[in-house]
């Protein structure tokens, strides 16, 4: 399995972990431990969960929790007027937060790669229209947070 595939699996697992934390009110340490022990690289109820890059998974989940106060206003600004983040479905919130964290903090990953990866995650849970919204919101955030990357392109 390639590093890109392991990172894609880590992004998917991170979004699921963030969603679970919000819905169940679970703490970050408990969710990280549960996912690493019981989900990542395991078969659960007939579904195979691919091996993921554990450090990358922990960075995304922990980073979103740590940086949420600065991430949420960026997402609010990028969302359509009249649609604050709190009105968005919980899984969509998790995807946007993880994507915004990666765009803001992981300058080792090209912004277009991050956006494409989170649009792919969105397709796993949401319809095409909502996946398109993920693309638009993360693109707006990237053009502000990573303007230098777009200037070079």
Residue 153 has a pLDDT of 59
Kindly indicate the confidence band of residue 38, based on its pLDDT and cuts at 50, 70 and 90: low
Angle between helices 111-125 and 90-105 (to 10 degrees): 170
Region 110-129 average pLDDT: 94
Q: What is the CATH number of domain 3-152?
A: 1.10.940.10
Residue 39 has a pLDDT of 65
Kindly indicate the confidence band of residue 47, based on its pLDDT and cuts at 50, 70 and 90: low
Q: Is residue 44 pLDDT above 60, yes or no?
A: no
Q: Is residue 14 pLDDT above 60, yes or no?
A: yes
Kindly indicate the confidence band of residue 122, based on its pLDDT and cuts at 50, 70 and 90: very high
Residue 50 has a pLDDT of 65
What are the backbone angles phi and psi of residue 25, rounded to the nearest 5°?
70, 25
Please tell me the distance from the alpha carbon of residue 13 to that of residue 27, in angstroms, as a whole number.
Answer: 16
Please state, for a pLDDT cut of 90, what percent of the chain lies above it.
56
Per DSSP, the residues of 100-145 read HHHHHH-TTS-HHHHHHHHHHHHHHHS-HHHHHHHHHHHHHHHHHH
Q: What is the pLDDT of residues 60-97, one digit of tens each?
A: 999 999 999 999 999 999 987 767 777 889 999 999 99
Q: Given its phi and psi angles, is residue 75 left (phi above 0), alpha (psi -120 to 50 degrees) or beta?
A: alpha
Please tell me the distance from the alpha carbon of residue 21 to that of residue 30, in angstroms, as a whole number.
Answer: 9
Q: Are 56 and 12 in contact (CB under 8 A)?
A: no
Q: Are 41 and 55 in contact (CB under 8 A)?
A: no
Please state, for a pLDDT cut of 70, what percent of the chain lies above it.
88
How many C-beta atoms surround the C-beta of residue 51 within 10 A? 13
């Amino acid at each position: 399995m390639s590093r890109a595939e392991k990172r894609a699996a880590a992004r998917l697992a991170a979004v699921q972990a963030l969603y679970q934390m919000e819905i169940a009110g679970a703490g970050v340490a408990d969710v990280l431990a549960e996912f690493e022990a019981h989900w990542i690289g395991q078969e659960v109820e007939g579904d195979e969960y691919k091996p993921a890059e554990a450090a990358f998974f922990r960075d995304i989940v922990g980073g979103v929790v740590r940086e949420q106060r600065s991430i949420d206003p960026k997402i609010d600004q990028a969302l359509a007027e009249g649609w604050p983040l709190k009105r968005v479905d919980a899984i969509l919130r998790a995807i946007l937060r993880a994507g915004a964290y990666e765009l803001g903090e992981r300058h080792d990953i090209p912004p277009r790669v991050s956006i494409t990866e989170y649009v792919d995650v969105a397709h796993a849970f949401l319809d095409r229209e909502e996946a398109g919204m993920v693309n638009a919101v993360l693109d707006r955030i990237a053009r502000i947070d990573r303007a230098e990357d777009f200037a070079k392109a």
